[in-house]
Chain A
Amino acid sequence: MSKAMKALAQRKTLFAAVLALTIFGAVYGFAATLNVGSNALSAGNATVASCQASGTPLGTYTTAYDSTVPGYKVTGVTVTGIDAGCNGKNISVTLTGTSNSNLATVTGTISGTSQALTVSGAIPAANVTGVSVAING
């Protein structure tokens, strides 16, 4: 092969390599901006596990008289029966009323197998018809 042919072949090889690296970089550039681009869509699946392997957490309440109600209001909620696996996780408790309305939501970090939470405001105890609990973290 002549020197001219060898040089041409080397230039084409170099061109091909540059082209490959350019495409590679460009595609990775798109991938890197996937999470922040307004038109981007990423999808994936993951299992959502529960730290409460067994048993049923139980909510108990403390009340106090409030002249503004007037009557007894809820001053605290204590959730007991929490699995040890939930220790250190965040807990959110919502007291619900008629039509599942949100009367109050209190949050905290679980320490042990029970968690006491203070309810502020004047939530009439008589208005509470349900409780919703979520533990995450």
Chain B
Amino acid sequence: MKHLSMTLGFALAVAATFAACAAAATLVIGSTKLSAGNASVSACTTSLSATRNVDNSGNVTQVNVAGIPTACSGETLSVTLVGSGNAALGSGSGTVGSCGASCSVTITSFGGTVSASSVTGYSYGLTGA
């Protein structure tokens, strides 16, 4: 009886110890979903040039952007007429259509009347389709 009691007690102690240790070792972790990726953002052109048409009042009636690479086909071209202090005098946009060796876009609306004498430059933005 004495040995049985001691053996039983010892076995219980060992079992309890291993059970507790086993619980710590089998640390269960989960994970939420994760998706990630990278992509290059390329430009279809690095430079553009434009000409303007002016009416008898001295206001810009249209801006012609020519020599656009065919790689820009389908993209949206935004043009801002820039004045002193880089102020935006007016902006317009057009879609670069399908074309041969090079494309052109004519913009005729700038959100208001823009005096040609105030225009000091053009700013371009092309966004992909």
Q: Report A's interface with B, CB cutoff 8 A.
A: 1, 5-6, 8-10, 12-13, 15-17, 19-21, 23-24, 27-28, 30-31, 34, 42-52, 56-57, 59-65, 67-72, 86, 89, 95-96, 125-126, 128-137
* Known contacts A16-B10, A71-B123: A1-B1 contact under CB 8 Å: yes
Q: List 7 A-B contacts (CB under 8 A).
A: A16-B5, A21-B16, A60-B127, A70-B123, A72-B123, A128-B41, A131-B38
A133 and B36 contact, CB distance less than 8 A: yes
What 8 A-B pairs have minimum CB-CB distances, sorted nearest first? A16-B9, A72-B125, A24-B16, A70-B86, A27-B20, A20-B13, A65-B80, A44-B29
Main secondary structure of the interface of B (DSSP, over half): mixed
Q: How large is the interface on B (under 10, 10 to 19, 20 to 34, 35 or more residues)?
A: 35 or more
Question: In the bound complex, how far is the Cα of B1 from the Cα of A10, in angstroms?
Answer: 9
Residues of B contacting A62 in the complex (Cβ-Cβ under 8 angstroms):
127
Closest approach, in angstroms, between the C-beta of A111 and any C-beta of chain B?
Answer: 16
Q: Is B34 engaged at the interface, CB distance under 8 Å to the other chain?
A: yes
Q: Given the known inter-chain contacts A16-B10, A131-B41, A135-B35, please indicate yes or no for A9 contacting B27, CB distance below 8 A.
A: no
